[in-house]
Structure 1
Amino acid sequence: MKKVKYYYDPENLAYKKIKVRKRTKFAYAALFLTAAALFGVLAFLVLLNTPFFETPKDRLQAREIENFKLNYAILNKKMDQIDEVLAEIEDRDNNLYRTYFNTAPIPEEQRKAGFGGVNRYKELEGFDNSELVVNTSKRVDVISKELVIQSKSLDEIAKLAKEKNKLLAAIPAIQPVRNENLRAVASGFGYRTDPFTKARKFHAGMDFSAKTGTPIYATGDGVVERADNTASGYGNHIVIRHGFGYHTLYGHLSKYKVRAGQSVKRGDVIGFVGSTGRSEAPHLHYEVHKNGEVVNPLNFYYGNISAAEYVVISKLANQENQSLD
C-alpha cells in the first residue's frame, strides 16, 4: 500500500495531503542512481586493490615480481662468492706481490669506497622493492670499482716485475775478469799507497792483475757510454751505463771490443787487459758507481763466485797495500 504523507495547515486548521511533483520525483531518482553508480565504481576500485579480486594480469605480474626477487637473491649470493675471491686476490696483492716489490699496499678504505656526491640510485626509489634493487645495485657498483682498482694494481705489479727483471740484469753482479785468468787481486777499494808518488791515496776501484790480452767481461746489461782514452789516468777505458743509477768503468785496456752506443749483456767480452794510461803493470782497474757515487765493487760479485772464493777475494782486497795505478 502506498504510503501517504500529510502536513498541518495552521491557517485552515486542518491536515492536508503532501503532493510530490513529478519533477522532484525525477530529481530524487537521478540522485539515487548517481550515488549508486559512484558507490559501485569505488567498490570496484577497492576490490581491484585487494587480494580477493585478482585478474589474470595481476597474477602474471605477481609471478614476475617473485621471479625477480628470486633472481636478485641468486645474484646477491653470486656477489658473495665474488667478494670472497676478490678479497683473497686483494690480500695476496697487498701482502705478497706489493711486499715483494717493496710497494705500499692499497688501503682498505680506498678499495671499499662507495660513490659520493649525487644520488646515483634516485630513479630506483619509491617502488615496493626499491630497497632490494638499490642495495643490489650498490653492491654491483662497489664490486665493479674494486675490480677496476685491482686491475690497475696488477698492471702496476706487472710493470714492477718487468722493471725488476731489468734491474736484476742491470746490476753489476760478476767479476770482470774470471778467476782462472787472474794472477791476483792486486788492490782493493779504499785508501792505498800510490805506486808513483808513494802517498796514501783513495783508490776508487779494484785492480785485477792479469796477462795482457786477458778477456774483460761486462758485469751487467747496459749500453756502452764511452770507449776511449780521453779520461786522465785511465788510458784506454770503457764506461757502461746499466740504468737504475749504475755505471761501471774498466781501465788500462790494451784494446776494445765494443764501441760507444753499443748494447751489451752481462758476460759479453768488451775488451782486453792492458797497461795503458797511468799504470805500473798489466791489470784491469774496475769501478762501480751508484747514483754518481763510487761504491765498493767487492759487494757485487755474487753472480759467479762461491762463498769460499768471496772470502779469499775479500781478504786480499781489504789489505792496505800498493795499488797498480
Structure 2
Amino acid sequence: MNFNIDKPNETLIEQLQHKIDFKTKPIGSLGVLEQLAVKIGSIQETLSPELKKPVIMVFAADHGIALDGVSPYPQEVTWQMVANFMAGGAAINVFGRQNNIDIKIVDAGVNYDFDKNSGVIDAKVAYGTKSYLNNAAMSNEQFELALKRGADLAEKMHNEGSNVIGFGEMGIANTSSAAVLLHLLTKVDLKECVGRGTGWDDEGLKRKYEILKSAVENYNGDKSIESIFSHFGGFEIVMIAGAMLKAAELKMIIMVDGFIITSALLAASKMNPNVLEYCIFTHKSNENGHKHMLEHLNANAILDLGMRLGEGTGAAVAYPIIESAVNFLNQMASFEDAGVSNSDKIN
C-alpha cells in the first residue's frame, strides 16, 4: 500500500510560538507543553487546535514463536485478556474511563473465535502467525491484508469524528517480534533488544535470546522492510503500522505507546518517514529495547513511570497532559488581554 503523507504546516510554527510567548507567563515556562501545543497546532493547521473523540485501538493477535518457548505464559492468555478487555477489567479500561477515551478492541489474528456479539472488532487475518524460527511468520498476501485492515480501521475512526488516536496491543510473545524488528531495522545488538517481556527470570531471558538469535541467523530473506516485517512481525504489529500510516495521511494526532507500539512505528517509518511528524511519544517503557527505539527515532517521551504493561496504557495515562497543552494554548490569557505588563525581564 502507498500512503500519501504530507509534512505538517511549518509556516504556522512561528505564529504558534508567538501566540504562546505572549501568554501570561515567562518565556518557555510551560516546557514540554509548549512543544506539544506547537506540534498539535501545526498538524491541524490552526492557531486554535482541538482534540476530538480520542480513541485507543487495542489490537490483539497470537504469535507462532510463542510455542517455541520465548514466553513464560501460554498462548491462550491472549484471548483470555481480550475477554478481560471486553469485560472492562483491564488497566486500559480503567484509564480509558478515567480520561474519557474510547477503547476499541480488535482481533487482528487471535487463535480463538470470539462471539459475534462480544463487541470485539473482527479483522482476523488468520489464527495467529507461524513461528519465524525457521519460516516467515506470514505470507506476503497476509502482510498486505493486515496493513490494509489497519488502515481501514484508522480511516473509520477518522470518519466517525476522531482526530487523535492511540494504539495498544495484546499478544503473547509480541515482545520477541518487537526485539527482532529493533535489531534488524536499527542494527542495535540483539542482546540489547531482548527484554524480560511478561516477566522472565535470568534463565528464561537467556533462553529467549538464544531462540531469537537462531531465528535471525536462519533468516534468508532480503533487507527490504516488507520482507523483514512480514517475516518477523505479528498481525497486530503490522495492522498497527498500517493504521498509523493512514492516520498520518488523514492528519490525525498519533499517540505512541511503549515497546510494541513503537516497533510498529519503527517499521512504518521505514515505509514512509513522514509518519513521525504526526506522533507524540507518550511514555518510555521499562522494557530495555524501548530506549534504543526512542534514540533511533530521535524521540523524547512525555512520561517515564517505569511502566511496561502495554495495552496502550502509557498513551491513556499521558492523554491529560496532551489535553493540557491544547487547553493552555486556547484558554490562557495573553498579556494584552489580562492587562499585565510584558517585560523582557520575565524569565
Q: TM-score, normalising length from structure 2? A: 0.21
Higher relative contact order (CA 8 A, sep 6+): 2
Q: Which of the two has higher C-alpha Rg?
A: 1
